[in-house]
């Protein structure tokens, strides 16, 4: 056929060259355009003849592999980054102001609730207590003497009341000073570990300045921020898988709390998950990934996402159809649903039992004869 095209084209060109009547360039260009059109028409006719002849020849089969579809359970999960926090995380400050006299703990040390972490200088307070104690001893003696006299109806009531008032006043002043001395002890409010010691001996401690951070990581909280799009699909008590990439660890838990407000800045709501951490391997601020199911279909048609192609008509893939005793590829348009882990649910266009081309789908077109390996 290519020889025929060459001969015809040559003859037309020779004929054109032999036309001595065409003298100007415009006429030649017009004639050249007409000749090109004739060549294009001949090429189309040749293509049709080649297709008709090839249809009568033995077709070469394309080797492919196929999967038979079955109904199966399909789940979709949403993933968000979690923020890990200790259940108890406390900055401990002195209850009163003063110079730090003793630091009794080091960073990383285990402490118990009520344990003294540091002491402030209380020398002035202690000397005041000693002085008042001397006065109190004398006041008690005087009070007891006046009381004995009063009980015997000896002496005046005024002297008795003055002795009593003096004794009680001194007792209150001593109690107040002892309370201040006790407040000079910085105590841990929880069982845990001293994570950071902010101050050292000689620094001035005060209620406004933390002395140390004490944390308890035996139980931790993980917070996640989820788009408001999923607010009807995520519920308290739902299962959640928590992955800690740095630890190569996965923990299964449930959602303990759903936030009641939407963050206006990023349109998310917050969820909280509580988990135990007996080994203390999970640290605050450790990177975590929360995976929560938001969709499930117990009888779905599912295919690998890479099988699905797209053209101007929509999404399609290739299945195997028996045509006159031959297996041929058939292009089928489908409606994809949600995808998860590189798998996509097909909501329309496929049924169970259909054979989908799994390998070789890039080598076929609609109607290609195939051989299943």
Distance (Å, rounded) from C-alpha 28 to C-alpha 35? 10
Give me the long-range contacts of 326-333 (CB less than 8 A, separation at least 24): 326/369, 327/369, 327/370, 327/371, 327/372, 328/367, 328/368, 328/369, 328/370, 329/62, 329/64, 329/357, 329/361, 329/364, 329/365, 329/366, 329/367, 329/368, 329/370, 330/366, 330/367, 331/365, 331/366
**In the prediction, which pLDDT does 137 show?**
83
Confidence of residue 349 (pLDDT cuts 50, 70, 90): very high
Judge contact between 237 and 255, C-beta under 8 A. Answer: yes
- Looking at residue 264, its pLDDT comes to 95
Percent of the chain scored above 70 by pLDDT? 90
CATH topology for 62-74+299-372 is 2.40.420
290 class by beta-carbon count within 10 Å (0-12 exposed, 13-18 middle, 19+ buried)? buried
What tens digit of pLDDT does each residue of 310-344 get? 999 999 999 999 888 889 999 999 999 999 989 99
- The candidate with the shortest Cα–Cα distance to 329, out of 300, 360, 298, is 360
Q: What confidence tier does 37 reach under pLDDT thresholds 50, 70, 90? A: confident
CATH number belonging to domain 78-86+215-296: 2.40.30.170
Would you list the domain boundaries of the chain?
Answer: 2-55, 62-74+299-372, 78-86+215-296, 90-205
Q: Give the pLDDT of residue 52.
A: 60
Asked whether the predicted pLDDT for residue 8 surpasses 50, the reply is no
For residue 354, count other CB atoms closer than 10 A to its CB: 20
Spatial CA neighbour of 84 closest among 248, 281, 252, 360? 281
Tokens 């401690």 belong to residue: 205
| Least confident range of 31-40, 226-235, 270-279, 333-342 | 31-40
Q: How confident is the model at residue 58 (pLDDT cuts 50, 70, 90)?
A: low
CA distance 205 to 199: 8
Place 2 in a pLDDT band, splitting at 50, 70 and 90.
Answer: very low
Cβ of 328: how many Cβ atoms within 10 Å?
A: 20
**How far is residue 283's CA from residue 191's CA, in Å, rounded to a whole number?**
17
CA-to-CA separations, 24 to 12, 15, 263, 348, in angstroms, rounded: 19, 17, 79, 65
The rounded distance, in Å, linking the Cα atoms of 329 and 176 is 94
Any idea which fold 90-205 has? Answer: OB fold (Dihydrolipoamide Acetyltransferase, E2P) (2.40.50)
Question: Average pLDDT for residues 5-34, to the nearest whole number?
Answer: 60
- 237/19 Cα distance (integer angstroms): 92
Burial class of residue 368 (count of CB atoms within 10 Å of its CB; 0-12, 13-18, 19+): buried
The answer to whether the CB of 282 falls within 8 A of the CB of 85 is no
Is 43 within 8 Å of 8 (Cβ atoms)? Answer: no
Q: Give how far Cα 253 sits from Cα of 243, 249, 289, 291, Å.
A: 11, 13, 13, 10
56 vs 239, higher pLDDT: 239
DSSP letter assigned to residue 8: H
């Amino acid at each position: 056929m290519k020889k025929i095209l060459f001969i015809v084209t040559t003859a037309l060109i020779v004929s054109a060259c032999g036309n001595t009547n065409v003298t100007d360039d415009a006429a030649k260009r017009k004639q050249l355009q007409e000749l090109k059109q004739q060549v294009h028409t001949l090429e189309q006719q040749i293509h049709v003849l080649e297709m008709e002849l090839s249809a009568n020849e033995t077709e070469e089969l394309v080797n492919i592999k196929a999967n038979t579809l079955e109904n199966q359970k399909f789940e979709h999960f949403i993933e968000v980054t979690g923020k890990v926090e200790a259940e108890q995380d406390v900055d401990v400050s002195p209850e009163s102001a003063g110079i730090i006299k003793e630091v009794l703990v080091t960073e990383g040390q285990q402490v118990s609730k009520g344990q003294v972490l540091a002491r402030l200088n209380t020398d002035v307070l202690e000397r005041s207590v000693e002085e008042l104690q001397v006065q109190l001893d004398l006041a008690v003696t005087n009070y007891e003497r006046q009381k004995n006299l009063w009980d015997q109806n000896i002496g005046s009531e005024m002297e008795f009341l003055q002795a009593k008032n003096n004794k009680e006043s001194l007792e209150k002043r001593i109690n107040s000073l002892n309370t201040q001395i006790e407040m000079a002890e910085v105590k841990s409010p929880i069982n845990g570990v001293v994570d950071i010691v902010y101050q050292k001996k000689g620094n001035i401690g005060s209620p406004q300045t933390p002395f140390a951070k004490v944390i308890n990581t035996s139980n931790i909280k993980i917070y996640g921020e989820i788009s408001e799009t999923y607010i009807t699909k995520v519920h308290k008590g739902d299962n959640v898988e928590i992955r800690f990439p740095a630890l190569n660890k996965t923990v299964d838990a449930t959602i303990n709390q759903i936030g009641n407000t939407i963050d206006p800045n990023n349109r998310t709501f917050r969820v909280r998950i509580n988990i135990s951490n007996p080994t203390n391997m999970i640290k605050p601020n450790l990177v975590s990934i929360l995976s929560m199911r938001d969709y499930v279909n117990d009888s779905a048609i599912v295919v690998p996402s890479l099988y699905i192609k797209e053209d101007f008509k929509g999404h399609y893939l290739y299945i195997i159809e028996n045509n006159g005793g031959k297996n041929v590829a058939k292009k089928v348009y489908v409606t994809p649903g949600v995808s998860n882990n590189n798998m996509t649910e097909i909501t329309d266009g496929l049924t169970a039992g259909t054979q989908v081309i799994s390998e070789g789908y890039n080598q076929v077109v609609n109607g290609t004869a195939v051989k299943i390996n």
